[in-house]
Structure 1
Amino acid sequence: MTTRTDPAPRVVVADDQELVRTGFRLILTARGIEVVGEAGDGAEAVATVRKLRPDIVLMDIRMPVMDGLEAARRILAQTPGCRVIMLTTFDLDHYVYAAGASGFLLKDVTPAHLAAAVRPVDTGDALLAPSITRRLVERFTSGAPGTDPGPSNPAVHRDLAVLTPRELEVLTLMGRGLSNSELAGELTLSEATVKTHVARIFAKLTLRDRAQAVVLAYETGLVSPGKSTGAAPSADG
């Protein structure tokens, strides 16, 4: 088993419910993850991130003053390198892609999954809850009402010919929901090599994150609806 040597990420928790923020703080700090700040609304989250420069923001969608989606957009525009994990529920999953987040979790996530999910995002292995991955793909491959093929979803009509055969294989497996560690096992490669392939795919196809890669894999026919593994990128330890 590979031992993780990455430093623990610094996290800001943004949620309008103090009890939720306290719970998340306790869960994360108990597992060695530093929560450097909290915010009770979207505007406060933007200001807190600007001041503290965390690695990760756990962001609720529904908050007063400014909602989590707008806060995420501003944070990602103003604070390069900061990652956002959106905390959502089933009835909100059709909004999540537009936020530009690096990961999505349901608000009833287990404590162990919540804590483990922060680290993969910090190391470039974004996390999508299985149900959100499925709904995300269904919405963007079916042309559902409200689907935006414009600037918020630039992962459309990319020329996959720029990819090497190995990169194409990696993109296909990403589209099926495999994490970096799962890709490494599937392809008999080191995780560092997989991360290099993923970075090159993102650069060549101008992809922002794994969510766009999943959508692109379906839109281009690399993965067909119903043929994904159904597994979300795992919390790599």
Structure 2
Amino acid sequence: MTQISDGAGIRQSTEPMVGHILIVDDHPLFSNGLGDLLLRERLAGRIDHARNLDEAQQRLSAAPGIDLVLLDLRLPQEGGLALMPFLASAGLPIPVIVISSAEDEGTVRAVQAAGVQGFLPKSAGRRQLVRVIRAVARGETAFPDRQPPAVSPSGLTPRQQQVLTLLAEGLPNKRICQVLDLTEHTVKTHVKAVFQQLGVHNRTECVALARSLGLISDRLGVLDADQRSP
């Protein structure tokens, strides 16, 4: 069994803690340094790297033996949480630990809501890295010990709730304008207000958190069919 750090530091064992880890991060210096640390400390037996979601999906499809994904939250073009629907649709029950420079409670809540198994700030040290990887490798979840403030549906105006529902359906701003008969500027203002209310940074985080809080569901609950444009 792999042993972890005590007061004297990390003790290595013969077998790595996790067999094969994929690091998804667009900063080579950080990604390579993290990979070297994982190998050196016997936290991983093999490391692969991906710089964006396309590369991550290719690696995951080509290497079914990947045991764990360490995922940067902010990637080029799409946020890192967009990998979660791919894993689900591809039938890949691979645990994911998000490693992010953002440590606010809204980010952590969005990560949890997306179905990620662990969260690790980029400011973390080796001991915290070991604790999180060990917990997730055992099938547990590992998140900062915080008590996030509750978000009430009443915190959103009726119009913001409508915009949120349409965001959850994947509609772009221009289509939301047509459905609600609003200007694009007004829609952007509502989207920004929803993000601020939920403490998130992009649509993926917004929808994931809103679902977990019961603000939206898979069924259309705000707009009736006769309120929609054809």
Q: Is the 8 A contact 2:110 2:209 kept in 1?
A: no
The residue type equivalent to 1:61 in the other structure is L
* 1:86 partner SS: strand
Distance, in Å, in 2 between the alignment partners of 1:126 and 1:8 is 16
* 2:148 partner SS: helix
Q: Any idea what the Cα deviations from partners look like across 1:77-121, whole Å, max 9, x if unmatched?
A: 424330000112124335322321011111111123213421220
Distance, in Å, in 2 between the alignment partners of 1:73 and 1:114 is 25
- For normalisation by structure 2, the TM-score amounts to 0.55
Q: Runs ≥4 in structure 1, deviation > 3 angstroms?
A: 1-7, 91-94, 144-152
Distance, in Å, in 2 between the alignment partners of 1:2 and 1:44 is 30
Gaps in structure 2 of 5+ consecutive residues:
5-12, 156-196, 199-205, 216-230
Q: Is the 8 A contact 2:96 2:116 kept in 1?
A: yes
Query: How many residues are paired up?
Result: 150
Q: Is the 8 A contact 1:86 1:104 kept in 2?
A: yes
The residue type equivalent to 2:128 in the other structure is H
- Structure 2 residue aligned with 1:65: 77
Distance, in Å, in 1 between the alignment partners of 2:98 and 2:140 is 15
Q: Any idea what the Cα deviations from partners look like across 1:167-211, whole Å, max 9, x if unmatched?
A: xxxxxxxxxxxxxxxxxxxxxxxxxxxxxxxxxxxxxxxxxxxxx
* 2:74 partner SS: coil
Distance, in Å, in 1 between the alignment partners of 2:96 and 2:87 is 8
Alignment partner of 1:104 out of 111, 114, 119: 119
Name the Cα RMSD after superposition. 3.3
Alignment partner of 1:28 out of 23, 38, 60: 38
* 1:138 partner SS: coil
Q: Is the 8 A contact 2:25 2:71 kept in 1?
A: yes
- Structure 2 residue aligned with 1:13: 23
Gaps in structure 1 of 5+ consecutive residues:
157-237
Distance, in Å, in 1 between the alignment partners of 2:82 and 2:96 is 12
